[in-house]
Amino acid sequence: MREVTTPLEKTAPEVSVVIPVYNEEESLPGLFERLLPVMEGLDRSWEVVFVNDGSRDRSLALLLDCVDKHPGAVRVVDFNGNFGQHMAIMAGFSVSRGNAIVTMDADLQNPPEEIPRLLEEMDRGHDVVGTIRSTRKDPFFRKFASKVVNRITNRITGLNLHDYGCMLRAYSRRVVDLINSCPESTTFIPALAQKFALNPSEIEVGHSERELGTSKYSLFRLIRLNFDLMTGFSLVPLQAVTMLGLVIAGLSFVFSIYMLLRRILVGPEAEGLFTLMTINFFLMGVTMFCVGIAGEYIGRIFQEIRKRPRYLVDRIYGDE
């Protein structure tokens, strides 16, 4: 078991497609049926790198069958556990050999037929090509929440991405090598790539409903991912908490002066106990929130100083 850190020394194709896979046995046959003809229709050499992120179904068996049918063009990186979508993509980056690297999910919500458009955009001189789901086929609440989170994240991180959740993207070799050089244990690849990009671009792409299988991102995991994104790329949440503390301290001081003057001028009062309790519980909530924000940063520091492998590869198929 090992963490892959260097690309394989072989004749480099022009395009690499990296696809993380986790329990996608229902979607993989359709993905093969649509993706491989698209790649064969390109006027450039290519490879597809699947990363099996600890799937517990028949995903690995289906991937190995694809490797046998397309020797030299399809490879599979097999994790010995589940390390998450972004670590799977990082592993795919590490073994990819293309000058242009495309990432996409295995669930077919992003059509593989859009890959040539991404490559055409890169041919125009862009080193990162992001995508915006123009006809997003998700529930209304999820679409609305995504728009709100995207705007908040842009404001906090200083980035300018319109759709953080779409993984159909293209990166230059230079950008991918820079991403690979970052040792952090948790990251968010589209945001990190945007930091390194010299000439980024975004295009609109189609989006389909998920027909087979279930989404791997629950509401809690989406919230967790966005917290990681905001605390991993900006100190603004921590600075905002500091400013909030100063504001509350100032208001508390003013309120204390008011209560002192009222006691002197009016005399002792028994009324207002409910109001004081309400204010007290509100401040307790604010305090817990501030401690949580600080804890997010402390937790990231704890993860980094342990220096554990970000992922462990059991075997790479297709390199024989």
- Which distant-in-sequence residues (6+ apart) come within 8 Å of 254 by Cβ? none
Question: What are the Cα distances from residue 158, in Å, to 37, 150, 294, 311?
Answer: 39, 11, 20, 29
Residue 168 burial (C-beta neighbours within 10 Å; 0-12, 13-18, 19+)? buried
pLDDT for residue 287 is more than 90: no
CB of 186 within 8 A of CB of 232? yes
pLDDT digits (tens, 9 = 90+) for 227-237: 666 666 666 67
What is the per-residue pLDDT across 26-74, written as a single tens digit (0 to 9) for each? 999 999 999 999 999 998 999 999 999 999 999 999 999 999 999 989 9
Question: Residue 100 in 3-state DSSP?
Answer: strand
Helix axes 236-266, 140-157, angle to 10 degrees: 90
- For residue 29, the Cα-to-chain-centroid distance in whole angstroms is 25
Q: How far apart, in whole angstroms, are the C-alpha atoms of residue 96 and residue 151?
A: 32
Is-above-0.85 flag for pTM?
A: no
- The predicted structure's pLDDT at residue 7: 39
